A and B are shown apart, each in its own frame.
Chain A
């Protein structure tokens, strides 16, 4: 392959935000994977979706967007993700409305770095807890204790519905990751209000719904966060 060809391929890739080849069946397959991830928090699943030109977003989160967003949903996009190309692709493929108000967003696209605990995402109300924002968070690492890559002193120990005993999920230990996991651990105190999160790392996906109890693996000896 000569250099010109490579350049051309790169350029084309930059332009194309892929849709689902077979919308009815592809979205069904992806939804079942997302449903599986949400039902069993911390499990990893790999979504077979054509990758978007944004490496930061990754194939998994783009697959979630294509599966769940449509003209009935409002999407909030963090500044570090926001681009005219993404907005155009969202509008073209899903028809979703972009909102600047995180409190009215059904889905929020952000990276672990841009997570700010002060962002007023919707957490639902006590009478309608389902009316909350689902965060779609791009992370740089996504490992759990069953894929063997995790050494026991990193990550977060999850328990609760969907988890037989407990499961360790490691999403990286940047400041944003810690802030996010601390915020999610706070879901228990406000339950049934809370944030549900779907993590994407490339084509890999995991989820933590608000029902999950979260403790830092390092701090588990302190036996805090019992509820």
Chain B
């Protein structure tokens, strides 16, 4: 495309983000500040993830973009088109075929392999932000490894509801040190963060922070001995592919209370249906 550098960002910006990414990888779970640029899309639409993807993407890479697991929703379609236009890269919906996967709020059901890079779009990177509004304070809390308040927050859930009611953006501890917000993925996906062979990068555009989980890194979801971390389970199976082990979306089908549950990961669901058929 004329008038743009490859992958939209200028080389100076890419180098700045690349240097920050290396520090992020070297300090797993630590939020590295970076000079976030204004992108041709509003904050909240994945500008952080887009900047990271633009900085790592190569002409030979095959890109997949998902939004809540789906390849065909607005956010995924526009970001995919964006990189088709500004980088001319090949895109795919198949998780196994992708080199780089940009994701909003899901980790694919299909196991990732070594060499793949998963780029998360992050709205609010600071897991302690809802407890402590001051950036200076939260930074100090991370420095001092002062994470008691996070456990208090989870405990308040137990006191009020009898169980930990946090269901998404469930805080994790990376390599036994930094408490990290895994972005608003359902806690169903949290176990996939642990020891994953793929490199996971997180970008927050408005907050101008990036962080990383290297492959094969220990990632624990915070919990209590008597209230261990658990993922959601459903009585239903996917109405389309019959999966009883994937994350399901509830879809309203009419105005008489009709509903169905389907896999949130469209590629996984379609692959399964293809195999069954």
Q: Which residues of A contact B (CB under 8 A)?
A: 23-25, 27-29, 31-32, 34-36, 38-40, 67-70, 72-73, 106, 125-130, 132, 134, 160-164, 191-192, 196, 209-211
Contacts and interface: CB of A to CB of B under 8 A. Distances in A.
- Dominant SS at the B interface? mixed
A160 B175 contact: yes
Contacts of B28: 161, 211
A130 B211 CA distance: 11
Nearest to B21: A35
A74 to B, nearest CB: 12
A130 B12 CA distance: 19
Contacts of B5: 24
- Dominant SS at the A interface? loop
Nearest to A197: B26
A127 B169 CA distance: 23
A191 B27 CA distance: 9
Given A127-B139, A127-B143, A67 B26 contact: no
A25 B24 contact: no
A161 B216 contact: yes
16 contacts: A23-B11, A31-B55, A36-B115, A39-B25, A39-B212, A68-B19, A72-B12, A106-B19, A126-B144, A127-B139, A161-B218, A162-B214, A162-B215, A164-B197, A191-B177, A209-B27
Interface of B: 5-7, 11-12, 14-16, 18-28, 30, 32-33, 55-59, 115, 139-140, 142-144, 175, 177-178, 195, 197, 199, 212-218
Contact of A70 (B12, B144, B195): B12
Given A130-B20, A162-B216, A32 B58 contact: yes
Contacts of A31: 18, 55-56
Contacts of A32: 56, 58
